Structure formats: C-alpha cells, structure tokens
C-alpha cells in the first residue's frame, strides 16, 4: 500500500494520521521529491479528478479524458497530482475527504 503524500497539505497529513491510527502498514511516497511511480502512472492517470486544476496555468488546454495526456502531465509536473492518494494493487482512491482512503482498507 502506497500513500502519495505532501507533508505541506493538511488533507494529506490527515490521511497519514488515519492510516497510522489504524496501525496500517503502508509506504509514504513523497512524490514531489521522487516523481510519480512508473508502476502507478497508468492507474493514477485514469482517476477522475486526479489533476489539481487550480494549479494549472490558465492557458492550458488539457483533455482530461485522454489518459495519455494526463499521464504526460503528471510525469512532467507531479505537483499537479491531487493528494492524498492511496494505492493498493490495481486500485487507488483520492483522499478528498481524507476518510475516502479508508474504502481501500477493506481490500487490504
């Protein structure tokens, strides 16, 4: 289990706390330092709402229904990744609200 985490984000810190409170074994993945994992890029680019649209440049013309385009954007600008995200195998969930990540724990 991997948590895409940004320590500066309050929602991300809340998700981290939820997992720690439940004594869940997971990897904290600091994507802003290391980028998006190649193992996860296809899965993440297929999630609705994966891009932080408020952080996009105003003149960007991104087709959010095109997974290839979203994938390229995430690879080149990982800061645009919505967070937090919990990945478990071939499933992932955006933690907005942070409690959403708990839905994956049933599959753990």
Residues known to be catalytic? 9
- Helix or strand (DSSP H, E) at 70: helix 67-76
Q: Which of 6, 97, 15, 98 is nearest to 55 (CA)?
A: 6
Q: How far is CA 30 from CA 23, 27, 61, 65, 68, in A?
A: 20, 9, 27, 26, 23
**Which strands form 85-88's sheet, in the order they lie side by side?**
27-29, 2-4, 85-88, 91-94
């Amino acid at each position: 289990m991997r948590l895409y985490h940004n320590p500066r984000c309050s929602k991300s810190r809340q998700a981290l706390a939820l997992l720690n409170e439940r004594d869940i074994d997971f990897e904290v993945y600091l994507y802003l330092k290391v980028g998006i994992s190649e193992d996860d890029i296809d899965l993440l680019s297929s999630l609705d709402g994966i891009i932080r649209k408020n952080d996009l440049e105003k003149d960007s013309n991104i087709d959010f229904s095109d997974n290839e385009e979203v994938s390229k954007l995430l690879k080149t600008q990982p800061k645009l990744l919505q967070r937090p995200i919990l990945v478990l195998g071939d499933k992932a969930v955006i933690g907005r609200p942070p409690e959403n990540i708990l839905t994956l724990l049933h599959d753990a």
